[in-house]
Chain A
Amino acid sequence: MAQQLYWEDVGVGSEVTPLVKIPTTRMLVQFAGASGDFNPLHYDDVFAKNQGPGRTIVHGALKAAWLGQMLNEWVGEEGFLKRYGCQYRSQDMPRRMRTQTEPEQEGETCTCKGVVTKKYIEDGEHRLDCDIWVENSSGQKTTPGTASVVLPSRG
């Protein structure tokens, strides 16, 4: 486990430790099953073609889940994620599978990122506000959002 982060360790402009994910068609099926989001846009190419996106797209909720993972890994077990949200502005395409378990080497990589925008104490809590987002391989922010977290203080 990474070392616990403290409120004193970060300031406005500090980066949230990024999290890299390679979305695959296999992953989308697994997420559909685990989350209960069975919209065929995420696993049926013909449906996705008829419905607009052209081909299957990554679940918005999966990208939100990755942002949650990034934030919780960053604040650590002694931190607390109070609030976060994001908008699914642009679609992300999964990589197709090359073998049963390995994706194609070429294709999209999603990187979750964030930056601290505000550092303050409220209700006795040491809080930070952040801008967060998922960006695609071209560096486009497909999924922008915000978050508020509480960190432990060295006192």
Chain B
Amino acid sequence: MNQDSVITNEMRAAIGVESEPSIREVEKGAIRRFADAIGDPNPLYHDEEHAAKSKYGAIICPPSFFGWVVRSARPTRTFQSPFTRGYNGGNEYEFFKPIKAGDVLTTTSKIVDMYERQGGPQTGRMLFTVMETTFKNQDGEIVAKSRGTGISYEGPRQVETPPMESGRLGA
């Protein structure tokens, strides 16, 4: 291992550790607010009558909805993040079954990978943390999986900034 690595043994040990499950109902009001926030007029998210007549038979979720809204599961942080600045590097979603309003989803998350890279002078050292989340419905079926890459970074060394409360990771 590189001596200068910011990935400690403690951090490595956190890879693959599944979070406690979180259980959330998929609320139609939350779906509507999310669709409104995107500016997505799809009647499958807004119009119960239309949705009832569709092949789904009910209001469904926009594809990226559950990534944030339904999920409260997060791997328990057993380590202190080395950097205070962070942003979302990317998201991937995989869908197996439609997720409908009223479904009760059980989600679990785990860190599946961590790696580092040297960025430019404004960025400094960067830490990439890949987190995978699995969503199961009330029948125990896996309905979706998501993967998010959280990037935290050192930042320019000369500037003092107040630390963020937590380096936020992607969904």
- A residues in contact (CB < 8 Å) with B: 1, 21, 27, 30-31, 33-37, 39, 41, 50-52, 59-62, 64-66, 68-69, 71-73, 77-78, 80-88, 145
User: Which residues of B are found within 8 Å of A61, using beta-carbon distances?
Assistant: 64, 67-68, 88, 91, 170-171
Contact flags (1/0) for B7-39 with A, using CB distance below 8 Å?
000000000000000000000001001101111
Contact of B90 with A87 in the complex, beta carbons under 8 Å: yes
B interface residues (Cβ-Cβ under 8 A, vs A): 30, 33-34, 36-40, 42-44, 54-55, 62-65, 67-69, 85, 87-95, 122-123, 147, 149, 155, 159, 161-162, 164, 168, 170-171
Q: Of A33, A83, A85, which is within 8 A of B37 by CB?
A: A33
CB distance from B170 to the nearest CB of A (A): 7
Query: Is there contact, CB below 8 Å, between A64 and B68?
Result: no
Contact (Cβ within 8 A) B34 A39 = no
The residue that B38 contacts in the complex, of A33, A66, A77, with Cβ under 8 A, is: A66
Specify which of B44, B63, B68 is in contact with A84 (CB 8 Å cutoff): B63
Contact B68 A77 (CB under 8 A): no
Bound complex: CA of A72 vs CA of B39, how far in Å?
Answer: 13
B91 (CB) vs chain A CBs: closest residue: A64
Task: Supply 6 further A-B pairs (C-beta < 8 A) apart from A31-B38, A52-B122.
Answer: A30-B36, A34-B36, A34-B69, A35-B69, A61-B68, A84-B92
Chain B residue numbers with a CB within 8 Å of A66 are 38
Closest residue of chain B to A148 (Cβ to Cβ) is B94
Query: Can you spell out 17 A-B residue pairs with CB atoms less than 8 angstroms apart?
Result: A21-B39, A30-B36, A33-B37, A34-B36, A34-B37, A36-B69, A39-B168, A50-B159, A51-B161, A64-B64, A68-B93, A81-B63, A83-B94, A86-B90, A87-B90, A88-B88, A88-B89
Known: A69-B42, A77-B55, A81-B95. A27 touches B87 (CB 8 A): no
Does A78 lie within 8 Å of B55, measured CB to CB?
Answer: yes
Distance in angstroms between the alpha carbons of A88 and B122 in the assembled complex:
17
Known: A27-B37, A61-B171, A65-B62. A85 touches B42 (CB 8 A): no
Q: B68 contacts A69, CB within 8 Å?
A: no
The answer on a CB contact under 8 Å between B155 and A34 is no
Whole-angstrom distance between the Cβ of A24 and the nearest chain B Cβ: 10
